Amino acid sequence: MEYIKFDKARKLDIVPIGRVAIDFNPIDINKPLSESSTFKKYLGGSPANIAVGLARLGKKIGFIGKVSKDQFGEFVVNYFDNEGIDTSQIKYSKNGENLGLTFTEIASPTESSILMYRQGIADLELNVDEIDEEYIKKTKAIVISGTALAKSPSREAALKALELAKKNDTVIIFDVDYREYNWKNSDEIAIYYSIVGKQSDIVMGSREEFDLMEKLIAGEKSSDKETAKRWLDYGNKIVVIKHGKEGSTAYTSDGKSYNIKPFPVKLLKSFGGGDAYASAFLYGLLEGWNIMDSLEFGSASAAMLVASHSCSQDMPTVEAIRSFIKEEKEEYGDMVARA
C-alpha cells in the first residue's frame, strides 16, 4: 500500500529546513573529548545530513536555512553545491551570527557524546520573510527539524513553511531531532513539537523524543502503540519510533506495524545513524517501495554510518547500500534485519 502520495510533477523531491553546522570529529578516538587534540572538519546538523544523504541517493534536493557570512558559511554552500543540492534558499546572517559548532567525543565504539555551541547561531535567525511559497510549491516534501522550533525567529519561519506546505499539498515530514540547547523548558518543547506533529504526514523520532512531544497531551508515558495511534489519529500516515540498538518500528494509517532490527556491524561511533536512516527510508518511500523494504534500506544506511568516521561525508550511494545488504545477508541470513 502506498501511504504517501508525492506529486511527481514537482521539480524537487525533498527540502529539509533548519540546522546546518560544522562537526569536528576526533581523529584520536577512544578517549575523552578533553584528551582529544586532533579533529577533522565535516558538514553537520541533522537536516543538512539528511539533505546530503538524499542527494547521494540521487534525489533532487533543496535546502532552506541560514548560514554565517564567513568562511564556514562559504564551506556549507560550496559543499551543498558540490553535492548537487539547490542552495538558492540559503540565506546569510546579517548581524554576525555564527554557524553552530559541534565537537564530538568518541570515547569508545559504544560511548559517544556531542558538545554543541549553539548561542548566537545563524540557523536560528531564519526569518518568516525568508520562506518562499513558490519554493514550497515546487517540492514534493519538506522536512521540518525539531531544532528549528527551539527559538524565534526560526520557530515562526518553520511554522510558516508548515502552513504553506499544508496549503499547497506538499508532504510534511517531521524529524523530531531533539537537542537540549536553546529550549527554555519541557513545556515549551511539548507545545511546539505537538503543533508540527499534529499537522505532519510522517513523524520520526526516538522513544525519548516522543515522550517530550507528548508531555502535555498524554500526562504520563505512553507505550509505542499508544503513541503511534495518537499521532496517526491526528492525521499522520506513518509514525516511526526508534529504539537505537533495539531497532525501530513504523506504524501506518491502516493499523499495521513493521519492525526492523539493526544490521550487525563493527561500531566506530554511536551518532549519525539516525540521519542516514531517515534519508534512506525517505528514499524508499519516494521510490514507491513498501514500508519493510524502505525500513531495511534505512537500517542498512544507518549501520554503515555508525561504522564510519563522519556523518555527511560518508553518506552512502544506492549501490553501496544494496551491496552492504547483500553482503550482510550472505553472512548472517536473509532475514538478518527483519524482526
pLDDT, residue 113, reads: 86
pLDDT, residue 310, reads: 85
Closest CA to 29 of 111, 87, 125, 99: 111
pLDDT, residue 90, reads: 98
Where do the domains of the chain lie? 13-332
Which residues, other chains included, contact 65 with Cβ-Cβ below 8 Å and sequence gap of 6+?
17, 18, 19, 20, 47, 48, 89, 90, 91, 123, 126
What secondary structure letter does DSSP report for 295? Answer: H
Gap between the Cα atoms of 319 and 325, Å rounded: 10
DSSP string, 184-221: --HHHHHHHHHHHHTT-SEEEEEHHHHHHHTHHHHSSP
Nine cell digits for residue 75 = 564551506
Gap between the Cα atoms of 94 and 278, Å rounded: 32
pLDDT, residue 273, reads: 86
Going from the C-alpha of 190 to that of each of 143, 156, 161, 281, the distances in angstroms are: 19, 16, 19, 26
Closest CA to 96 of 125, 76, 117: 125
Amino acid at the residue 234: Y
Gap between the Cα atoms of 300 and 282, Å rounded: 13
Amino acid at the residue 217: I
Burial of 196 (0-12, 13-18, 19+ CB in 10 A): buried
pLDDT tens string, the chain, 339 residues long: the values are: 889 999 999 999 999 999 999 999 999 888 899 999 999 999 999 999 999 999 999 999 999 999 999 999 999 999 999 999 999 999 999 999 999 999 988 888 778 888 999 999 999 999 999 999 999 999 999 999 999 999 999 999 999 999 999 999 999 999 999 999 999 999 999 999 999 999 999 999 999 999 999 999 987 789 999 999 999 999 999 999 999 888 999 999 999 999 999 998 887 777 888 999 999 999 999 999 999 999 999 999 999 998 888 889 999 999 999 999 999 999 888 777 886
Nine cell digits for residue 312 = 555527511
Gap between the Cα atoms of 68 and 77, Å rounded: 10
Q: Pairing between strand 39-44 and 65-67?
A: unpaired
| CA 311 from centre of chain | 12
Asked if 19 contacts 147 with a C-beta cutoff of 8 angstroms, the reply is yes
Gap between the Cα atoms of 209 and 220, Å rounded: 14
Gap between the Cα atoms of 53 and 300, Å rounded: 13
Amino acid at the residue 126: L
Maximum alpha-carbon separation in the chain:
56
Q: Which helix (H) or strand (E) holds 277?
A: helix 273-286
The yes or no reply on domain 13-332 and CATH 3.10.129.10 is no
Q: pTM (2 decimals)?
A: 0.96
User: Given CA atoms 233, 245, 57, 292 in this order, what sign does their dihedral have?
Assistant: negative
